[in-house]
Amino acid sequence: MTATELKAEILRLTREYSNLVHAGNRPGDDPAHAPFTPGVSTVPYAGRVFTPDEVEAAVGSTLDFWLTLGPEGEAFEKELAGLLGVKHSLLVNSGSSANLVAFSALTTHKLPEHKRILPGDEVITVAAGFPTTVAPIIQQGAVPVFLDNDPATGNARMEQLEAAYVPGKTKAVMMAHTLGNPFDLGAALAFCKKYDLWLIEDNCDALGCTYSMPVEEAKSLGLDHLLKIAETGAHPFIRVEEGLLTAPTGSWGDISTQSFYPPHHLTMGEGGAVSIIRRPPLKTYAESFRDWGRDCWCPSGKDNTCNKRFGWQLGELPEGYDHKYIYSHLGYNLKPLDPQAAIGRQQLKKLPAFIEARKQNWETLRRGLADLEEFFQFSLPTHATGWSSPSTLNSQPSTYSWDSTGHRTDCSWFGFMLRVRPGSPFTHTALGRHLDEQKIGNRMLFGGNLLKQPVFVQLKKDRPNAIRTPLGSYPGADEIMNTALFLGTYPGLTPAMLDYEIETIRAFVKSF
């Protein structure tokens, strides 16, 4: 056999193997999905969803043995950037690394002085969420300033932005689109424009969400990068319809981040991405922090992209010192491997179906639990003021009422969050424990009020000025911490799993 024939045979056998052993990882609506036995099989809250395509891609790329970020990585970066409508996407090895790289890029001395984030500068964020949205701010010596969360959406209360602002100190807003619910981008963008601040969107839990705002407002906010793409009429997510500009979250601010850890909208095992939304030079800075802090921007395996490898004089190094080993930042090495990107490329093809499944699964849970409002408060998409369904059994879509901003959100849900009402005969912890016993995966909203986490309690003791809490108390974040639980919406859930979840919760509630 030739090498090509041998590879083809290995890949054929790989598919055959994957077909035999990975039935439980198939999309929930795939007839080949492993059967589900209520109470015996587990209903995960999230996990890898894949078919033999991903396994073949991983094995194929491993056989090629490029290993470090290479052709698959380059292709994935282009495909992701195209999907988001951003200038560049850079692969990293996790969503946490993506946040670290994104934030670090804004500390570079290559930015004009008034835009550079220096130690002691302030960055506005939100109290309840995932810790590594906030950690890079502190790791780089800047000060996170906390807003409270709106428990109904899980997102920051943007009306508090002005109270958090300090002229000359505030440099950026960095926060996540919580659980696949876009934060109020209109308010955040207007605030950042007013004070010339960076906006970093942690989009790790929200790939595939879209946000809409009136075109006139988008123009006044200077969102030309999106309006231009919308004008082409060729982008799957970025469009203008009935006077509204619609675009994915992660494409509105300055930099955005993704996670590709298994529970997220697409996976490559470990992985993440930093997207440079509209200012191309930020790519070079982000890349430098990702790649050891180097000044050189050659991709792995290439030399002399700048055509003057031995023609630079930087720092106090002698003229002609090898550009490959010139360092302009205190960097890291946060790259993933090429086989990961190969897996990610297959996942990207499935993304539209994954997004649709997440929406459908959320809808099924919402309808199935709709009459339990006495016990639970359910999440609302940002800008929605109410949810209604023609009938819980009807297949017609549910509808939302919307606030007066004219803005809309379309959620690619990471999870189905419910909050146990005060006065209910059970707590969210009791519900979580019961669901666990019934083999139903559930999670609290990550770190809850992060300010109550041991790391922040210790930080306040060790370095009281390392964080700022201008609001004093955080009742919204506390409510999330004390009452919220989320179930999965991931595309691996089958209709039988969703029915079992609904029945189990209904039976639990009725047992009191």
How far is residue 239's CA from residue 228's CA, in Å, rounded to a whole number?
A: 10
Question: Least distance (Å) from ligand PLP to the CB of residue 385?
Answer: 25
201 belongs to the binding site for ligand PLP (CB under 6 A): no
Mark whether 323 is an active-site residue.
Answer: no
95 belongs to the binding site for ligand PLP (CB under 6 A): yes
Question: Least distance (Å) from ligand PLP to the CB of residue 115?
Answer: 24
202 belongs to the binding site for ligand PLP (CB under 6 A): yes
**Among residues 123, 158, 161, 176, which is the contact residue for ligand PLP, using CB under 6 A?**
176
From 11, 48, 83, select the one nearest 247 (Cα to Cα).
Answer: 83
Question: Of the ranges 126-134, 221-229, 245-253, 334-342, which one interacts with ligand PLP (CB under 6 A)?
Answer: 126-134
β pairing state of 376-378 and 415-420 = antiparallel
Q: Which residue is nearest to ligand PLP (CB)?
A: 95
Site for ligand PLP in 378-417 (CB under 6 A): none
Of the two residues 261 and 297, which places its CB atom closer to ligand PLP in the complex? 261
How far is residue 62's CA from residue 337's CA, in Å, rounded to a whole number?
A: 10
How far is residue 460's CA from residue 447's CA, in Å, rounded to a whole number?
A: 17
Question: Least distance (Å) from ligand PLP to the CB of residue 451?
Answer: 17
**Among residues 45, 130, 354, 376, which is the contact residue for ligand PLP, using CB under 6 A?**
130
Question: Least distance (Å) from ligand PLP to the CB of residue 34?
Answer: 26
Catalytic residue among 264, 329, 383, 428: 264
3-class secondary structure, 255: strand
β pairing state of 442-443 and 484-488 = antiparallel
132 belongs to the binding site for ligand PLP (CB under 6 A): yes
Question: Least distance (Å) from ligand PLP to the CB of residue 440?
Answer: 20
**List of long-range contacts for 310-316, beta carbons under 8 Å, 24+ apart:** none
- DSSP for 416-435 reads EEEEEPTT-SS-HHHHHHHH
Q: Give the tokens for residue 107.
A: 């500390």
Question: Least distance (Å) from ligand PLP to the CB of residue 184?
Answer: 16
332 belongs to the binding site for ligand PLP (CB under 6 A): no
Question: Least distance (Å) from ligand PLP to the CB of residue 135?
Answer: 9
How far is residue 11's CA from residue 118's CA, in Å, rounded to a whole number?
A: 51
Of the two residues 204 and 467, which places its CB atom closer to ligand PLP in the complex? 204
How far is residue 383's CA from residue 373's CA, in Å, rounded to a whole number?
A: 20
272 belongs to the binding site for ligand PLP (CB under 6 A): yes
Of the two residues 121 and 202, which places its CB atom closer to ligand PLP in the complex? 202
Assess contact for 389 and 334: CB atoms under 8 A.
Answer: no
Task: List for the chain the helix, strand, coil content (%; round to 5).
Answer: 40, 20, 45
184 belongs to the binding site for ligand PLP (CB under 6 A): no
Tell me the site size for ligand PLP, rule CB under 6 A: 15
How many Cα atoms sit within 13 Å of 500 on the Cβ side?
20
Site for ligand PLP in 204-263 (CB under 6 A): 204-205, 259, 261
How far is residue 79's CA from residue 342's CA, in Å, rounded to a whole number?
A: 12
Of the two residues 70 and 447, which places its CB atom closer to ligand PLP in the complex? 447
133 belongs to the binding site for ligand PLP (CB under 6 A): yes
Question: Least distance (Å) from ligand PLP to the CB of residue 102?
Answer: 11
Question: Least distance (Å) from ligand PLP to the CB of residue 288?
Answer: 21
CB-based burial label for 20 (10 Å; 0-12, 13-18, 19+): exposed
Of the two residues 52 and 129, which places its CB atom closer to ligand PLP in the complex? 129
Q: Which spans in 22-107 are helix H? A: 52-64, 71-84, 95-105
Of the two residues 176 and 276, which places its CB atom closer to ligand PLP in the complex? 176
Assess contact for 145 and 124: CB atoms under 8 A.
Answer: yes
Q: What is the CA radius of gyration of the chain?
A: 24
90 belongs to the binding site for ligand PLP (CB under 6 A): no
3-class secondary structure, 301: coil
Of the two residues 142 and 218, which places its CB atom closer to ligand PLP in the complex? 142
From 188, 149, 152, 148, select the one nearest 170 (Cα to Cα).
Answer: 188
Question: Of the ranges 15-23, 88-96, 294-302, 329-337, which one interacts with ligand PLP (CB under 6 A)?
Answer: 88-96
Assess contact for 482 and 151: CB atoms under 8 A.
Answer: no
- Angle between helices 495-510 and 338-368 in degrees, nearest 10: 50
Question: Of the ranges 111-119, 200-208, 333-341, 385-393, which one interacts with ligand PLP (CB under 6 A)?
Answer: 200-208
Q: Which residues pair with 399 in a beta bridge?
A: 388
80 belongs to the binding site for ligand PLP (CB under 6 A): no
Please, which residues have CB within 8 angstroms of residue 21's CB and are 6 or more apart in sequence? none
Of the two residues 296 and 343, which places its CB atom closer to ligand PLP in the complex? 343
Q: Which residue has the tokens 């986490």?
A: 453
Site for ligand PLP in 431-470 (CB under 6 A): 446
Question: Of the ranges 20-28, 128-136, 337-345, 364-372, which one interacts with ligand PLP (CB under 6 A)?
Answer: 128-136
From 265, 259, 116, select the one nearest 198 (Cα to Cα).
Answer: 116
Question: Least distance (Å) from ligand PLP to the CB of residue 478?
Answer: 19
Site for ligand PLP in 136-165 (CB under 6 A): none
Of the two residues 92 and 221, which places its CB atom closer to ligand PLP in the complex? 92
**Among residues 61, 96, 104, 483, which is the contact residue for ligand PLP, using CB under 6 A?**
96
The three-state (H, E, C) secondary structure of 475-496, written as one string? HHHHHHHHHEEEEECCCCCCHH
Q: Which residues would be at the binding site for ligand PLP (CB under 6 A)? A: 94-96, 99, 130, 132-133, 176, 202, 204-205, 259, 261, 272, 446
Q: Which residues have a catalytic role annotated? A: 264
